[in-house]
A and B are shown apart, each in its own frame.
Chain A
Amino acid sequence: MAGAAPFAPLHEAAFDNGVRLVVEEDHSAPVAIVQIWLKVGGRDETSGKTGLAHVFEHMMFKGSKKLAAGEFSRRIAAMGGNDNAFTSHDYTAYFEIVPAAKVDEVLGMEAERFGHLNLRAEDFAKEIQVIQEERRMRTDDDPNSRMFEELTSVALRLHPYREPVIGWMQDLKKLDIDDVRAFYKAHYIPGNVTVVVVGDVDFADIKKTVARTFGKLKKQPVEARFNPVEPEPIGPKRMVAVLPAQLPMLAVTMPVPVWKPGENDREAAALAVATEILAGGRSALLNREIVDKQRKAFAAAAGYDPFSMGIDMWFAYGMLGPKQTPEAFEAALWATIGTLRDKGPDATQLAAAKRRMVADQVFAQDSLYIRAKEIGMLETVGIGAGKRDAWLAALGSVRAEDVKGVLKQWIRQERSTTGLLQPEVKS
């Protein structure tokens, strides 16, 4: 049983300069989250300038006409708030969690830095060092993420998901302040902005505030985003990453369709349900078959994001213990996927997966941050937050035949790239 949709009503507004506003009121605590979403991310970088969208995100904290470097965060802290930002291939977002009474002030500060950023060379010189440390910490010194970065890069030919959002270190060392300024001019325009507010606020008030702040920015033409069609794989690929790891990991990935509302609802939903049956909950097949029964890995997982732009890189991986081999895990992985593809889920499996996926949406409503993030993300990738109910309906419509169908069409070894993290052997 699917249950009722758990979402509170959305209030939306659009302004003449292209800025959009989405508000979800929740008066259960005197708190609100403000998120400023930009239709810019790693995919909008040019060759040799990887990491620039994320570098830019850092520079947003380095001062504007009215606020000195660091002043933005200090003011947010002083009002009892927290602020930060995040960048993906598809979007960049800035957020503040503040007492609800401060939302107007925060929107004013956000619009001010958005329109009047300093971008000084001396601030950039320090910040690029910080970002190189971030890359060392997140990627270079973490064998698993290093392997996944390489795997995605090997798997794709054209699509910008092949470049890491954090940027290659070689590019990070060459970027300069002029790159940052050009990026600002090209992408930080009102037509790329969606303001999201969730919490103890009144939509009518927020609409007035946004009209007075972001709504006043000068309209500029918006260009279509880079979204090339990835060529269909012509055969399986393999790669090995030899790194100072303790234990091996084997992962597979391949491009699969994302959700295009009204075009492929059941296909995308079936991919999500199939992935849930393989990797969600306690009864996850990969875990039950490969970890618990066959003992070919000590952990296994898979993932699919139906809300990316253009394609998603579906993945599955296994963590291998000292006596477990990559070959045996790989065989077990494809055998488990193959069994589900040939036999399909039984009625209980299918119903349980759907119920968990709806429950996950209910549980997600417990966090203002996750609610705002989901709204902003759906708006920014072009699906629209108003489609959340349609997605739940699509999940509800998935039949066993659909699960079999999408596995047969998309999750195939000959379409995949396989990566092995192989622990370095010291001589």
Chain B
Amino acid sequence: MRNLMSVLTVLFLFAFTPAAQAMPPIEQARLDNGLRVLLMQSSNVPMVVMRLNLPAGSWQDPAGRGGSAAMLAAMLGDHTAKHDYVAWADKLDAAAIRLGGGASYDSLSMTLTVLKEALAEGVDTFAEAGLQPGWDAKRFAVLQSDAVAGAQKSLEEPGVRAAEETAATMYPKHGYGHRPDGDLASLKRIELKDLQSMYRKQFRPEGAVLAVSGDVTMDELLALIRPAFAGWKGKPAVSFTDIPEPVAVRGEQRQVVMPTRQMTVQMARLGLSRFDKAFFADMLLDHILGGGGFASRLMNEVREQRGLVYGVYSYFMPLAVPGPFVISLQTRADQAGKALDVVREVMRKMHDGDIGKQELAAAKANLTGSFAHRLDSNAKRVGLMSMIGFYGLPLDYLQNWEARINAVTLAEVKHEAARFLDAEDWNVIQVGPEVAGSGD
């Protein structure tokens, strides 16, 4: 830590240049087995974060067994062929090694956060977790039973109910039709062999990406990774390019009954894929609509002008194929209709082209101005590099990000508004009481 000052002095020279130039480049290497390694060096904290991303997302969960990929990630982190769960926990804890994992719709990930002084041991444990699974049947039963109980507990959360119903409504015959965590029924059906089968097919170095950020050079990193991942070979049976295009479901209305005071309202429709040509125009559209916090129209109209909600926001999830575009709010149950009317009116105006030049300029200023903040920690840098590597986006993606935002025209944003914001196309999922007014 004492050499911190000399490092700061060097970096200080870059401090007044634009963010894109000051940003360290992404370095790339490829191991003989095909594993791609991406690195951004950053020496201001003596730590390293890395994430391995593989094409084993929840979209591949066997039918009716939602949560399999998430359970696979949990099993890989829990113990190995060489260490039972107790010895494994003691080993990691003694060196302050944080090992995490999880599944999203498109990919499975394992994440390592480690002190620089423990990097060598960290990489070894990371590789052991990934490449030497223990498949302890008793531990599987324990993790499964805890996950099932957790799924039941999570039914107390209106947001979880809404997300489950939204996924099921929008993707009835598609791998995106359930939450990556799975649900109470699906988790019970999973068998250890489901996990083993997914692992055998998909846990392969080709098409996988190891994104690294922190206090390490590429040479130091490769000297650790090469031996640790030696012997790992092969190509996954399917990749994200095999994910089928979803069929649009429009205008569905669903209600989930819960004895809450508020109604949780989610409007949802198909959004766009990570590869959509209008991706940056849609980022701006969403920012103006409800992604930009207090600067957004939804926040202004529904909260600031009318006091109907604490939170209202929009987001789209860009996946390998079109993921959901969602507008979400919670309001006292008897006000849900009123709040929905306000949201629809905001959508209608934008859909009909009522988007101002100033408004677009403000959205651009916020997104480009806050770009450096998207990259100001090892954890954030690893997240972005994983995404870039996994979907095969160009390595200068971050360098060009601000220019791509600035190049979007008002006509393009209006075009995207017309494409996405017809309220008739949106499904409406409401979670709350059958009859409003259970009182405070």
Contacts and interface: CB of A to CB of B under 8 A. Distances in A.
A141 B260 CA distance: 5
B8 A356 contact: no
Interface in B357-386: 362, 365-373, 375-379
B146 A298 contact: yes
B362 A69 contact: no
Nearest to B49: A366
Contacts of A132: 332, 440
B397 interface: no
A140 interface: yes
Interface stretch (A26-34, A211-219, A333-341): A26-34
Interface string A7-32: 01000000000000000011111110
A27 to B, nearest CB: 5
A73 B303 CA distance: 14
Contacts of B158: 141
B377 A366 contact: yes
Interface in A380-422: none
Interface stretch (A174-182, A234-242, A347-355): A347-355
Contact of A356 (B96, B259, B303, B331): B96
B440 A29 contact: no
A80 B362 CA distance: 9
Interface of A: 3-6, 8, 25-31, 61, 69-70, 73-74, 77-83, 97-101, 125-134, 136-137, 140-144, 169, 173, 200, 244-247, 281-283, 288, 291-292, 295, 298-299, 319-322, 348, 351-352, 355-356, 358-360, 362-363, 365-368
Contacts of A99: 19, 369, 372
Contacts of B293: 73, 77, 82
Contacts of A295: 142
Interface of B: 1-2, 4, 8, 11-12, 15-16, 19, 22, 42, 44-47, 49, 85-86, 88-90, 92-96, 98, 113, 115, 117, 142, 145-146, 148-150, 152-153, 155-158, 258-262, 292-295, 300, 303-311, 330-332, 362, 365-373, 375-379, 440
Contact of B156 (A137, A143, A299, A366): A143
B365 A80 contact: yes
A101 B369 CA distance: 11
Top 4 A-B pairs, shortest CB-CB distance: A80-B369, A359-B96, A321-B149, A129-B307
Given A31-B373, A82-B370, A355-B95, A136 B45 contact: no
A61 B300 CA distance: 13
Given A281-B89, A321-B145, A366-B379, A8 B4 contact: yes
B149 A136 contact: no
A78 B366 contact: yes
A142 B376 CA distance: 33
A367 B292 CA distance: 21
25 contacts: A4-B1, A28-B42, A74-B362, A77-B365, A78-B365, A81-B366, A99-B372, A125-B307, A127-B307, A130-B310, A133-B262, A133-B309, A133-B310, A136-B440, A244-B258, A281-B92, A282-B89, A298-B146, A319-B153, A321-B152, A356-B96, A359-B115, A360-B96, A362-B45, A366-B49
A288 B85 CA distance: 10
A352 B261 contact: no
Given A100-B15, A137-B311, A366-B377, A30 B45 contact: no
Contacts of B309: 130, 133
Given A70-B294, A100-B15, A137-B262, A6 B45 contact: yes
A299 B150 contact: yes
B28 to A, nearest CB: 22
Given A6-B1, A366-B378, A69 B304 contact: yes
Nearest to B296: A77
A352 B93 contact: yes
Contacts of B304: 69-70, 126
Contacts of B156: 142-144, 244-247
Given A4-B2, A322-B149, A131 B11 contact: no
Contacts of A360: 96
Contacts of A141: 158, 260-262
Nearest to A127: B307
B153 A31 contact: no
A362 to B, nearest CB: 6
Contact of A79 (B12, B45, B49, B365): B365
Contacts of A100: 15
Contacts of A4: 1-2
A30 B362 CA distance: 20
Contacts of A143: 156
Contacts of B15: 27, 30, 100, 200
A126 B45 contact: no
Nearest to B311: A137
A29 B376 contact: yes
Given A70-B300, A169-B440, A281-B89, A247 B152 contact: yes
A126 B306 contact: yes
Contacts of A363: 45, 47, 98, 113
A77 B42 CA distance: 27
A368 B115 contact: no
Given A77-B292, A80-B368, A298 B150 contact: yes
A127 B309 CA distance: 10
Contacts of A133: 262, 308-310, 330-332
A352 B90 contact: yes
B308 A282 contact: no
Given A31-B372, A356-B93, 10 more contacts: A80-B368, A130-B310, A136-B440, A200-B15, A246-B155, A292-B85, A298-B149, A366-B379, A367-B377, A368-B377
A350 to B, nearest CB: 11
Contacts of A83: 294
A135 to B, nearest CB: 8
Contacts of A25: 8
A379 B400 CA distance: 41
B95 to A, nearest CB: 7
Contacts of A3: 115, 117
Given A70-B304, A133-B310, A5 B1 contact: yes
A81 B369 contact: yes
Given A77-B293, A247-B152, A319-B149, A97 B46 contact: no
Given A81-B370, A126-B306, A283-B89, A136 B150 contact: no
Nearest to A249: B153
B382 to A, nearest CB: 11
A230 to B, nearest CB: 29
A27 B12 contact: yes
Contacts of B260: 136, 141
Contact of B330 (A131, A137, A320): A137
Contact of B366 (A69, A77, A247, A355): A77
